[in-house]
Amino acid sequence: MGTFSASEGADRSGEPRVEARLSEVSRPSSPTVVFPEDKPLRLESGQLLAPLSIAYQTYGTLNADKSNAILICHALTGDQHVASRHPVTGKPGWWEALVGPGKPVDTDRFFIICPNILGGCMGSTGPASLNPKTGKPYGLDFPVITIGDMVDAQVRLIDHLGINQLFSVIGGSMGGMQVLEWVTRQRERVATAIPIATAPWHSAQNIAFHEVGRQAVMADPDWRGGNYYEDGVVPKNGLAVARMAAHITYLSEKALQGKFGRNLQDRAARSFSFDADFKIESYLRHQGSTFVDRFDANSYLYITRAMDYFDLENAHGGKLANAFVGTKTQFCVVSFTSDWLYPTRDSKAIVKALNAVAANVSFVEIESDKGHDAFLLEEPEFHATVRGFLTAAAAKRGLAAYARGI
C-alpha cells in the first residue's frame, strides 16, 4: 500500500460502526430464522452446513391466501435492508427508489421479503459466523458456496414463512443471478420473475475484476489468512482497494467523465504528491473507506467466488434454454444501455433462451448513462416498466383487489 491508506480520511465514527457491524453478524437486529444442526444445508460442493441462520426483513402484509409475496434478492454488497434504515450506517434502504408505499414494488399491496444471502455478514450464516466445531469464527473454514446454495437457503426461509408460491422474485446484478436460479430450481413456485442488469454466466472480465479485489484483500497483512476476527483487526486497506476497483465497474466512462472530469479535490493546483488530488480519487477513497465499516472482508471473498462460479448454461448441459424448459413463469428482463459489467447482450442471451422454449417474456433495455449502478438509481423508465409489469401480472392473477387507486 505504501504511500497512502485507502481508509485515510475516514471519520473516526468508523470504530463504533465496526462494533455495530460485528454485532449484526452474531446478534442481528433483523428477524432471523435458525435451522439447527440436524437440518444441514447440502451445498453444491457436497459439504453440509449447519446450523444455518437466515436474517431477513419484510415489508407490507401477507394476504390471507399468501399470494402477494415478493422475494427481493440483493446484490454482492447489499443486504436485507432494502427499504428500511441500515442498522450500521444509518442510511436509507438501498432500493427505496423502487420499493416502498406507492412505489413500483408497492409495499401497500405486496408482502416484500428480503433475506441477507448465505455467506453475507448481516445476520445470515457466513465466514464471520461462529463455526460450531471450533467455537470461533469460520474464516476460511467456511465452505465455498454458490448462487444456487444461496437460493436453496432462501427456499428454506420461504418454506418457513409458509409461502407456497412467490408472486415475484426480483433482483439486480447478483440478485438477478439468484432470480434465474430460483426459476430453474423452484419452477412451480415463481409466478413472475424480474432479472435486472444481470447475466446467465459470469464473464472472464467479471472474474478478472473479482480476482483483483480478492488479491487486494489477501495482500493486506491484517487479513491474516482469513483469521483476523480474533486479533481484533480488519484488512481495511485491502478491502477498500477491492471496493475502489469494483466501484469503477459499476459506473460508466461517460458518468465518470461527467461527474468528475479532471477536476481537483479541495485544491487549486496539483500537489506533486500521491494525495487524492483529483475528485475521482477522493470519491473512490471515500467509497472504499465507508465500505469497510459495513462489510466483512471474507464475505467479500466468498460472495465474489460464488458469482464467478455462476454459469447457468454449463449447469444445463451447455444449452441455456434447457434451464427454462417447461417454465410457466412470466419474465421481465431489464438491461441498461451503459452497463458494461452486465451488458445488454447478456440479458439478450437470457431472452433468447426463454424464446427458445416459448416462455412468456418481456425484455426492456433502458437508456441510461449511469452504468451498472443505474438499477439502484432513480430511473423513471425502468420504474414504470416494473410497475406496469407487476400491475398487469397481479391483475391476471386476481390480485387486482389489493391495488390502490385502480
Residues with a catalytic annotation lie at 173, 339, 372
Q: Which of 43, 151, 153, 393 binds other proteins (CB under 8 A)?
A: 393
**230 is a contact residue toward other proteins (CB under 8 A):** no
User: Could you tell me the CA-to-CA distances from 50 to 47, 122, 176 in Å, in that order?
Assistant: 10, 17, 26
Stretch that binds other proteins, among 72-80, 144-152, 181-189, 389-397 (CB under 8 A): 389-397
Q: How does strand 99-100 pair with strand 105-106?
A: parallel
DSSP 145-214: --HHHHHHHHHHHHHHTT-SSEEEEEEETHHHHHHHHHHHHSTTSEEEEEEES--SB--HHHHHHHHHHH
Cα gap 351→241, rounded to integer Å: 35
CB of 210 to other proteins, least distance (A): 30
Judged by CB under 8 A, the chain residues 237 through 266 that form the site for other proteins are none
Least Cβ distance, residue 169 to other proteins (angstroms): 17
Check binding of 369 to other proteins (CB under 8 A): no
Shortest reach from residue 269's CB to other proteins, in Å: 45
What's the rounded Cα separation, in Å, for the pair 88 and 291? 11
| Of 365, 369, 397, 402, the one binding other proteins by CB under 8 A | 365
Is 365 exposed, middle or buried, given 0-12, 13-18 or 19+ CB atoms closer than 10 A?
middle
Pull the grid cell for residue 262.
Answer: 479532471
194-232 burial code (b ≥16 CB/10 A, e <16): bbbbbbbbbeeebeebbeebbebbeebeebeebebbeee
Minimum distance of other proteins from residue 208's CB (angstroms) = 29
Assign 3-class secondary structure to 98-152.
Answer: CEECCCCEECCCCEEEEECCCCCCCCCCCCCCEECCCCEECHHHCCCCCHHHHHH
- Residue closer to other proteins (CB basis): 291 or 336: 336
Does residue 338 bind other proteins (CB under 8 A)? no
Q: Judged by CB under 8 A, how many residues of this single chain contact other proteins?
A: 27
Candidate list 92, 256, 362, 397; residue touching other proteins; CB under 8 A: 362
User: What mask, x for binding other proteins by CB under 8 A, covers residues 159 to 198?
Assistant: ----------------------------------------
Q: Residue 156 interacts with other proteins (CB under 8 A)?
A: no
Of 218, 255, 264, 351, which lies in the binding site for other proteins, with binding defined by CB under 8 A? 351
Residues 314-333, one symbol each (x = binds other proteins by CB under 8 A, - = not), give: ----------------x-xx
Candidate residues 6, 199, 364, 374; the one interacting with other proteins per rule CB under 8 A = 364
Rounded Cα distance between 346 and 348, Å, is: 5
Q: According to the binding rule CB under 8 A, does residue 391 interact with other proteins? A: yes
Kindly list the residues in this chain that would bind other proteins in the complex (CB under 8 A). Answer: 330, 332-333, 351-352, 355-358, 360-367, 381, 384-385, 387-389, 391-393, 395
